[in-house]
């Protein structure tokens, strides 16, 4: 069974913001003649990379709730220009919405076991996927989701 990561999506107010940012960065790379792939740079390199890239995902916490995930494609450690070890978490650019799961703030990323990960929308509660995102956010803020 694949292992997952969970991380705060700093700077995004919604899943739509994240999707727009991904599309923008992919377009930038295409215009620059670079490989068209999406990655997230992090300082710490996961030691369990083989488990993560065997079907695992990066779950994004947006505004205090896990709201979506992206499949982990590869993990590429590197040393930046200042000699600091870093890591590219290479992600499938397709963002999969999940059931919302409240999370307290934390730094960096954490491992997320499959049995602790929220289900993709449409695989759990009926009607959840059709609910407008703004309404879902308001209900989550009230602690009703």
- Tens digits of residue pLDDT in 42-98: 999 999 999 999 999 999 999 999 999 999 999 999 999 999 999 999 999 999 999
Pairing, β 4-8 against β 57-62: parallel
pLDDT in tens, 23-42: 999 999 999 999 999 999 99
Determine the pLDDT at residue 132. Answer: 75
Q: Residue 62: exposed, middle, or buried by beta-carbon count in 10 A (0-12, 13-18, 19+)?
A: buried
- Calpha distance 54→110 (Å, rounded): 17
pTM of the predicted structure, to 2 decimals: 0.85
Which stretch of DSSP H or E encloses residue 65? strand 65-79
Q: Please tell me the predicted confidence (pLDDT) of residue 27.
A: 97
Distance CA 111, CA 58 (A): 9
Task: For residue 42, list its beta bridge partners.
Answer: 87
């Amino acid at each position: 069974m694949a292992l997952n990561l969970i991380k705060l999506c700093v700077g995004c107010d919604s899943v739509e913001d994240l999707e727009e940012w991904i599309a923008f960065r992919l377009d930038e790379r295409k215009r620059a003649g670079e490989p068209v792939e999406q990655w997230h740079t992090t300082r710490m390199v996961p030691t369990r990379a083989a488990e993560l890239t065997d079907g695992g995902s990066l779950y994004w916490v947006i505004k205090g709730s896990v709201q979506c995930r992206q499949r982990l494609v590869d993990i590429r450690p590197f040393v930046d220009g200042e000699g600091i070890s870093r890591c590219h978490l290479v992600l499938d650019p397709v963002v999969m919405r999940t059931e919302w799961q409240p999370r307290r703030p934390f730094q960096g990323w954490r491992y997320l076991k499959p049995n602790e990960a929220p289900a993709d929308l449409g695989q759990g509660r009926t009607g959840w996927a059709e609910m407008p995102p703004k309404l879902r956010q308001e209900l989550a803020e009230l602690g009703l989701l």
